[in-house]
């Protein structure tokens, strides 16, 4: 099976590159920049991609790969830092830019195999403070912007390419085509990799790791944990027990819906735990979102530990962690926000190991895996819902009254989306109860009630996202219904921010 080796220099989009390669049905493997030349030769990749990263190549402690990688005769594509590093190591010059480029930038493309069948201009996502000032011997310019002369470079004789922009993100137009050109036209890869291969390998891996020992799976009812549960079911059978924790922060009617779907499945050994009072007591008076996440992460673990003791000796806890959770919880110490199941975990966990079989996958890949495992489409394409639940959709402290307000408002939003077919367009949509109150008037009376924010986005990988342009008449209906049907809300706003700069969730 043809393989593309991705050498990781610590950028936030690195696993996304791997995902884009796999999207084109070619197997990808991510390895740290410390990989040795012998290890590269053993993998025998058809191509190598050098990722972005937060460092400057001219710093003494900057991460660098083995220079001989460029002399193996294997095509190499450097992205952002990867392009700068290739230029620097092969005799070019990299400097700090006087004009930085961040965001969607118009790039002029020149004819070459990397940009085959693309227009001469393309919108690309730039995110860099350094730039290549002087090219190494044998290289030429293949792309440029108004402020960056060498936005793309190539040594055609050695099949070495570099782009300063990020083709792996959806904000770059035709980015997937650029990656496809590299792996197909330049690396000559055969497109033989499928999600079924990942499924078979992962089930085999889980069988070998777990053997006949008992496993507890944290099952929320969402697609990630459901797919993780099905993988474990096929790997360990009756040694699996799935625990669903109702922490009192679920959407309206959600606990009943989850129990209806999974409660009668004997292969999952489903157990529901009512822990509402425990979680709400621990969260009483807490406003900081990071603190909320850590409290919820720890309490989940403590509930699982307690349930595990009832089952005897349970060595493993399984979570449905996916790659965007890992990225936002921090790579190389850079935390965006701690997800309850990653950065929110307590220091001590009373399990031999936490297993995360989906850790390297993105949401759309998890859904494909779910279909391969035989899950129904309505479950596979269920609306994403964060583990901390409404705790991170209520800004400020959490009370039972606020939970009820948000549950009712969010239910109306979801109902209207279904009526108008927007649930088939939006990849995630929800309401946020802010901690802001404003003056309003209902009838002849003054009100001083909450501001509610609505959020809906389109995305495939959940690493980048664009806000959904909801028709005004639908927004108007949602607004009128919420204000009239839900007490203590008198003002509605719609979030029109994309990711980046925002995250999808508010907290």
Task: Compute the Cα dihedral for 210, 366, 383, 402 and give only its sign.
Answer: positive
Residue 504 lies in a domain: no
Residue 257 lies in a domain: yes
**Could you say which of 65, 80, 124, 189 is catalytic?**
80
Task: Clarify whether 166 is annotated catalytic.
Answer: yes
Show which of 136, 160, 186 is a domain's final residue: 186
The pLDDT of residue 328: 54
The pLDDT of residue 393: 96
The pLDDT of residue 332: 44
Query: Which residues are CB-contacts of 378 (< 8 A; sequence separation ≥ 6)?
Result: none
Task: Clarify whether 168 is annotated catalytic.
Answer: yes
Task: Clarify whether 80 is annotated catalytic.
Answer: yes
Measured CA to CA, the distance from residue 423 to residue 425 in angstroms comes to 5
Residues 356, 320 share a domain = yes
Chain-centroid distance, C-alpha 404? 29
Residue 501 lies in a domain: no
Residue 499 lies in a domain: no
The pLDDT of residue 331: 44
The pLDDT of residue 443: 79
Residues 87, 26 share a domain = yes
- CATH code, domain with 338: 3.40.50.620
**Could you say which of 23, 101, 168, 328 is catalytic?**
168
Residues 85, 158 share a domain = yes
- Asked whether 486 and 466 are in contact (CB, 8 A), the reply is no
Residues 108, 90 share a domain = yes
The pLDDT of residue 346: 59
Residues 414, 341 share a domain = no
Measured CA to CA, the distance from residue 507 to residue 495 in angstroms comes to 14
Domain containing residue 469: 393-494
Show which of 154, 186, 218 is a domain's final residue: 186
Show which of 138, 156, 186 is a domain's final residue: 186
Strand 270-274 with 428-442, pairing: unpaired
Residues 182, 201 share a domain = no
**Could you say which of 166, 247, 339, 340 is catalytic?**
166
The pLDDT of residue 335: 41
Residue 319 lies in a domain: yes
- Asked whether 353 and 206 are in contact (CB, 8 A), the reply is no
Does residue 96 sit in helix, strand or coil? strand
Residue 298 lies in a domain: yes
Number of domains in the chain: 3
Long-range contacts of 260-267 (CB under 8 A, 24+ apart): 261/221, 261/379, 262/219, 262/221, 262/226, 267/233, 267/237, 267/238, 267/240
Residue 386 lies in a domain: no
Residues 84, 141 share a domain = yes
- CATH code, domain with 447: 3.30.300.10
Residues 397, 375 share a domain = no
The pLDDT of residue 377: 86
Strand 353-355 with 428-442, pairing: unpaired
| pLDDT tens-place string over residues 341-389 | 444 455 667 788 889 999 878 788 899 999 999 888 888 888 888 889 9
The pLDDT of residue 343: 44
Phi and psi (nearest 5°) for 475? -60, -40
> Digits of tens for pLDDT over the chain (507 positions)?
799 999 999 887 887 898 899 889 998 888 889 999 999 999 999 999 999 998 899 988 999 999 999 999 999 999 999 999 999 999 999 998 877 888 889 999 999 999 999 999 999 988 888 889 999 999 999 999 988 899 999 999 999 999 999 999 888 999 999 999 999 999 999 998 888 888 998 999 999 999 999 999 999 888 899 999 999 999 999 999 999 999 999 999 999 988 988 888 878 899 999 999 999 999 999 999 999 999 998 999 999 999 999 988 898 999 998 877 776 544 444 444 344 444 445 566 778 888 999 987 878 889 999 999 988 888 888 888 888 999 999 999 999 999 999 999 999 999 999 999 999 999 999 999 999 999 998 877 899 999 999 999 998 777 788 999 999 999 999 999 999 999 999 999 999 999 988 999 998
- CATH code, domain with 173: 3.40.50.880
The pLDDT of residue 462: 79
* Two structure tokens written together for 91: 């005799």
């Amino acid at each position: 099976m043809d393989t593309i080796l991705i050498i990781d220099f610590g950028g936030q989009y690195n696993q996304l590159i791997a995902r884009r390669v796999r999207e084109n049905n070619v197997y990808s493997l991510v390895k740290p920049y410390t990989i040795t030349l012998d290890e590269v030769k053993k993998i025998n990749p058809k191509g190598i991609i050098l990722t972005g990263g937060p460092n400057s190549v001219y710093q003494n402690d900057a991460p660098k790969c083995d220079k001989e990688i460029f002399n193996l005769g294997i095509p190499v594509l450097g992205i952002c830092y990867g392009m700068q590093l290739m230029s620097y190591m092969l005799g070019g010059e990299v400097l700090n830019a006087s004009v930085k480029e961040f965001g969607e930038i118009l790039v002029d493309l020149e004819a070459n195999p990397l940009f085959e069948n693309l227009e001469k201009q393309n919108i690309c996502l730039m995110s860099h403070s350094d730039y290549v000032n002087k090219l190494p011997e044998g290289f030429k310019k293949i792309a440029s912007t108004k402020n960056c002369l060498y936005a793309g470079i190539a040594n055609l004789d050695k099949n070495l390419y570099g782009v300063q922009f990020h083709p792996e993100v959806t904000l770059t137009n035709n980015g997937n085509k650029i990656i496809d050109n590299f792996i197909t036209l330049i690396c000559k890869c055969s497109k033989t990799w499928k999600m079924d291969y990942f499924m078979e390998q992962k089930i085999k891996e889980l069988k070998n790791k777990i053997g006949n020992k008992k496993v507890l799976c944290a099952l929320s009812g969402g697609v990630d944990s459901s797919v993780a549960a099905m993988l474990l079911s096929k790997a360990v059978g009756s040694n699996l027990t799935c625990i669903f924790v109702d922490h009192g922060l679920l959407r309206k009617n959600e606990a009943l819906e989850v129990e209806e779907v999974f409660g009668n499945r004997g292969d999952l050994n489903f157990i529901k735990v009512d822990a509402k009072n425990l979680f709400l007591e621990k969260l009483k008076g807490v406003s900081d979102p990071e603190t909320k996440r850590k409290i919820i992460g720890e309490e989940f673990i403590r509930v699982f530990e307690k349930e595990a003791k009832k089952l005897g000796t349970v060595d493993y806890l399984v979570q449905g962690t996916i790659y965007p959770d890992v990225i936002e919880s921090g790579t190389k110490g850079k935390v965006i926000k701690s997800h309850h199941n990653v950065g929110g975990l307590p220091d001590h966990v009373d399990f031999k190991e936490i297993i995360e079989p989906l850790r390297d996958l993105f949401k759309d890949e998890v859904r494909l895996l779910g279909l391969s495992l035989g899950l129904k489409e309505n479950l596979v394409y269920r609306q994403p819902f964060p583990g901390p639940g409404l705790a991170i959709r209520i800004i400020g402290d959490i009370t039972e009254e606020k939970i009820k307000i948000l549950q009712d408002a969010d239910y109306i939003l979801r109902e209207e989306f279904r009526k108008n077919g927007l649930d088939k367009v939006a990849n995630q949509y929800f309401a946020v109860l802010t901690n802001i109150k404003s003056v309003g008037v209902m009838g002849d009376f003054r009100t001083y009630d909450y501001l509610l924010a609505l959020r809906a986005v389109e995305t495939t990988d959940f690493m980048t996202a664009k806000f959904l342009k909801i028709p005004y008449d639908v927004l108007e209906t949602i607004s009128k219904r919420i204000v009239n049907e839900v007490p203590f809300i008198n003002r509605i706003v719609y979030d029109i921010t994309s990711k980046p700069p925002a995250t999808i969730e508010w907290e």
